[in-house]
């Protein structure tokens, strides 16, 4: 943060602000035209099959352009030295233990360059600590450590997260191995069942991180680091989460004219989204929702959705439930 | 009159899945901007 007289002077000087903004825009234009950036766009647009393997190779190609990326960093350092109010034209990403820049982002691939400072790591480790967890992102992630910081890393695995994930069957995660990583090492993590933990580092860790979304699991899972048991899940799909929120909002606003859209959104590939929408649908217009509820009860691919739908039929549509599932049928209860 | 059901009375799934980015992974600081997050934890 730049405070004090320099900030006051910059805020009072419109021309200085314009110069700062112009430098950011010029930097963005310049680097947006460089082969490093145009090549990745071209490769992704020409990809015939948008699968994890293809996108992963494109990420590797980008990360191999170390010289060009070094030039980019040098340029931004020089511009920052020239004008303290210059901001790199890349989205900043940071947490308590790392800071970085998002160099590339689209729906299939995000590539960041970041550093985990040894002081940040030590501060975190030495500070007050509550329960800790091991996260399985559900997404294929490629790390390339330009500087590995002489770090010791432990690798973990859990039962694979599939489309029909059931919390009660999530089991436990387990330690696979613990070892030091080297400068230049590449670590590929299939977040559907793999994760890793940095246990110790002697110096700063500088690394690329590429998140490859095709083929991602529907959710990320989290395991307790002491008991190694499953403790929670969250969606990996931002779009479906937004749809869920919008459907809830439409129900709250009593927008019954949106019912056709809500019914359409029941086609979500994610089981948790389908049931979230069905609950909202029932709260808006139970009669209109009934045909879809019957369909979920009979044919939804996820057993918990089928069971919840069958139970809902029993609870609120007694006659329907009897017709759909005559006495004597075995029902799976949620 | 349309039949409406109290949403709180409708069964929920046993497998609860939070919204995208809703899990604040302990030690890491939670999912970062634009869905980027570093799936690492500093162990004891």
Contacts of A92 in chain B (CB under 8 A): 33
Reduced to 3 states, what is the DSSP secondary structure of residue A177? Answer: strand
A152-157 vs A174-180, strand pairing mode: antiparallel
Helix (H) / strand (E) containing A123: helix A118-126
Mutate to test the interface with A, among B11, B16, B29, B44 (most CBs of A within 10 A): B11
What are the phi and psi torsion angles at A142 (to 5°)? -110, 125
Nearest to B42 among A110, A198, A304 (CB): A198
pLDDT band at A1 (very low <50, low <70, confident <90, very high): low
Q: Please report which confidence band the pLDDT of residue B38 belongs to, taking 50, 70 and 90 as the band edges.
A: very low
Give kind and range of the element (H or E) at residue A113: strand A109-116
CB nearest to A283's CB, from B7, B27, B43: B7
**Does a structural domain hold residue B32?**
yes
Report if residue B5 sits inside a domain: no
A219 near A239, Cβ under 8 Å?
Answer: no
Q: What distance in Å separates the CA atoms of residue B32 and residue B23, rounded to the nearest whole number?
A: 11
Residue of higher predicted confidence among A175 and A331: A175
Instruction: Identify the closest residue of chain B to A169 by CA–CA distance.
Output: B15
Mean pLDDT value of segment A41-49: 94
B42 inside domain: yes
Q: In chain A, how many H helices and how many E strands?
A: 12, 12
Q: Are A57 and A46 in contact (CB under 8 A)?
A: no
Whether B13 is in a domain gets the answer: no
pLDDT of B26 reads 42
Helix axis angle, A238-252 to A271-284, nearest 10° = 10
pLDDT cut 90: percent of chain A above it: 82
Residue A72 pLDDT level (bands cut at 50, 70, 90): very high
* Residue of higher predicted confidence among B30 and A112: A112
Q: Are B20 and A301 in contact (CB under 8 A)?
A: no
**How far apart (Å, rounded) are the C-alpha atoms in residues A285 and A292?**
12
Q: Do A225 and B39 touch (CB under 8 A)?
A: no
**Chain CA centroid to CA A300, Å:** 26
How many domains does chain B contain in total? 1
Q: How confident is the model at residue A93 (pLDDT cuts 50, 70, 90)?
A: confident
The pLDDT value recorded for residue A301 is 97
Q: Does A284 sit within 8 Å of B33, measured CB to CB?
A: no
User: Domain for residue B10, yes or no?
Assistant: no
C-alpha of B22 from chain center: 4
- CA distances for A290 relative to A7, B4, B8, angstroms: 61, 11, 18
Nearest to A251 by CA among A282, A226, A212, A272: A282
Chain-chain contact of A315 with B11 (C-beta, under 8 angstroms)? yes
Determine contact: B26 vs chain A, CB below 8 A: yes
Could B13 and A102 be called an inter-chain contact, meaning their C-beta atoms sit closer than 8 Å? no
Per residue in A247-282, pLDDT tens? Answer: 999 999 999 999 999 999 999 999 999 999 999 999
In the sheet that holds A140-147, the strands lie side by side as A91-94, A99-105, A109-116, A205-212, A140-147, A186-190
Give domain status of residue B36, yes or no.
Answer: yes
Q: What is the pLDDT of residue A125?
A: 74
Tokens of A71: 């030039």
A3-17, A20-34, A132-146, B27-41 — which is least confidently predicted? B27-41
Q: What pLDDT sits at residue A80?
A: 94
Residue B39 belongs to domain spanning? 19-44
Of A188, A214, A190, A176, residue with least CA distance to A138: A190
* Residue A321 scores a pLDDT above 90: no
Q: Is residue B12 part of a domain?
A: no
Edge-to-edge strand order for the sheet containing A194-200?
Answer: A174-180, A152-157, A194-200
Residue A324's pLDDT is what? Answer: 60
The 3-state DSSP class for residue A303 equals helix
The answer to whether A69 and A101 are in contact (CB under 8 A) is no
**Size of chain A in residues:** 334
Q: Are A313 and A320 in contact (CB under 8 A)?
A: yes
Average pLDDT over residues A224-235: 94
Structural contact between residues B4 and B13, judged by C-beta atoms closer than 8 angstroms: no
Q: What does the pLDDT read at residue A96?
A: 80
Q: Is residue B33 part of a domain?
A: yes
Q: Does B5 sit within 8 Å of A168, measured CB to CB?
A: no
Q: What is the pLDDT of residues A140-167, one digit of tens each?
A: 999 999 999 999 999 999 999 999 999 9
The verdict on a CB contact (< 8 Å) between B40 and A220 is no
């Amino acid at each position: 943060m730049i405070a004090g007289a320099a900030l006051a002077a910059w805020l009072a000087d419109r021309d200085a602000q314009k110069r700062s903004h112009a430098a950011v825009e010029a930097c963005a234009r310049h680097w947006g035209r460089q082969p490093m950036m145009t090549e990745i766009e071209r490769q992704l647009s020409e990809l015939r099959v948008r699968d994890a393997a293809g996108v992963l190779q494109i990420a590797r190609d980008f990360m191999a352009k170390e010289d060009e990326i070094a030039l980019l960093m040098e340029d931004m350092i020089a511009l920052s030295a020239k004008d303290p109010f210059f901001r790199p034209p890349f989205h900043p990403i940071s947490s308590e233990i790392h800071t970085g820049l998002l160099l590339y982002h689209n729906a299939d691939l995000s590539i960041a360059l970041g550093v985990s400072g040894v002081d940040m790591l030590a501060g975190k480790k030495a500070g007050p600590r509550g329960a800790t967890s091991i996260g399985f992102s559900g997404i294929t992630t490629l790390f390339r450590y330009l500087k590995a910081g002489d770090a010791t890393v432990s690798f973990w695995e859990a039962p694979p997260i599939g489309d029909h994930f059931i919390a009660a069957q999530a089991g436990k995660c387990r330690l696979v191995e613990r070892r030091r990583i080297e400068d230049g090492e590449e670590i590929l993590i299939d977040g559907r069942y793999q994760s890793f933990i940095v246990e110790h580092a002697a110096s700063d860790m500088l690394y690329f991180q590429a998140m490859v979304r095709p083929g991602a699991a529907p959710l990320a899972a989290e395991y307790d680091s002491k008991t190694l048991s499953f403790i929670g899940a969250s969606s990996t799909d931002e779009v479906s989460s937004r749809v869920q929120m919008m459907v809830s909002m439409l129900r709250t606003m009593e927008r019954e004219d949106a019912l056709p859209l809500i019914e359409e959104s029941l086609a979500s590939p994610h089981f948790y989204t389908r049931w979230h929408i069905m609950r909202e649908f029932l709260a808006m217009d139970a009669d209109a929702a009934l045909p879809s509820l019957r369909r979920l009860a009979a044919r939804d691919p996820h057993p918990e959705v089928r069971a919840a739908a069958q139970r809902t039929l029993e609870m609120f549509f007694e006659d329907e439930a009897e017709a759909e599932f005559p006495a004597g049928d075995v029902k799976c209860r949620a | 009159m349309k039949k409406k059901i109290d949403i709180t009375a409708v069964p929920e799934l046993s497998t609860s899945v939070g919204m995208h980015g809703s899990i604040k992974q302990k030690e890491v600081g939670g999912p970062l901007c634009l869905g980027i997050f570093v799936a690492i934890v500093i162990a004891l």
